[in-house]
Chains A and B, each alone.
Chain A
Amino acid sequence: AQSVTQLDSQVPVFEEAPVELRCNYSSSVSVYLFWYVQYPNQGLQLLLKYLSGSTLVKGINGFEAEFNKSQTSFHLRKPSVHISDTAEYFCAVSSNDYKLSFGAGTTVTVRA
């Protein structure tokens, strides 16, 4: 069974500042990793994914994440945030059983 830990429940950040959201996972088998974003009162939108290949993955809206197998991490970064990035961000992991296990989420609040 796999599990996901998002180390920060709330991250306040000023507009145009960088942000990093931390995600660690545990799994005994190979994993596939995802970041989803949920804007207020909306569904889940895929930001980016790691399935195989390069450990640095780029997603939509200027986000990127790096898969670190030795540290079992998949941290999400953006060099310069906008007000519109205010949302909840979920890290998720899947392995051989296809189902997604989600972290508890990180609320990002961007202030002017």
Chain B
Amino acid sequence: EPEVTQTPSHQVTQMGQEVILRCVPISNHLYFYWYRQILGQKVEFLVSFYNNEISEKSEIFDDQFSVERPDGSNFTLKIRSTKLEDSAMYFCASSEGILEGPSSYEQYFGPGTRLTVT
């Protein structure tokens, strides 16, 4: 069964450093997402991406965040200058979005990258 993969599983970085979190969505999916979950809190939407551009972003997704689809398979989240409060589990997800029917709304999640900023 196809699945979303994410690397690395755990990333430790120092405050102020740049990090890139990588995701490989399911191959025929067209919509891609990043979410984050701070320890003990709920999962929060960060950004959605379709047709090589951001379709929606939350207020969390400020100028220090960026997303990119550098090739036909990878989808990345970059944090330019990490802060302590960026420590969280980051989940990538993808959905079909082919016919814009109900199946477009079913998102498949990767296992997450745990980011620890020290």
B43: which A residues are within 8 A, CB to CB? 44, 90, 92, 100, 102
In the assembled complex, the Cα of A15 lies from the Cα of B95 at a distance in Å of 35
Within 8 A of A (CB), among B15-64: 31, 33, 35, 41-45, 48, 55-56, 58
Q: How many B residues are at the interface, by size bracket?
A: 20 to 34
Is A43's CB under 8 angstroms from B102's CB?
no
Is A100's CB under 8 angstroms from B42's CB?
no
The distance from the CB of B90 to the nearest CB of chain A, in whole angstroms, is 11
28 A-B pairs within 8 Å (CB atoms) are namely A32-B106, A34-B106, A36-B109, A42-B111, A43-B110, A44-B112, A45-B109, A46-B106, A51-B105, A51-B106, A52-B102, A90-B42, A90-B43, A97-B56, A98-B31, A98-B55, A98-B56, A99-B33, A99-B48, A99-B56, A100-B35, A100-B43, A100-B45, A101-B45, A102-B42, A102-B43, A104-B41, A104-B42
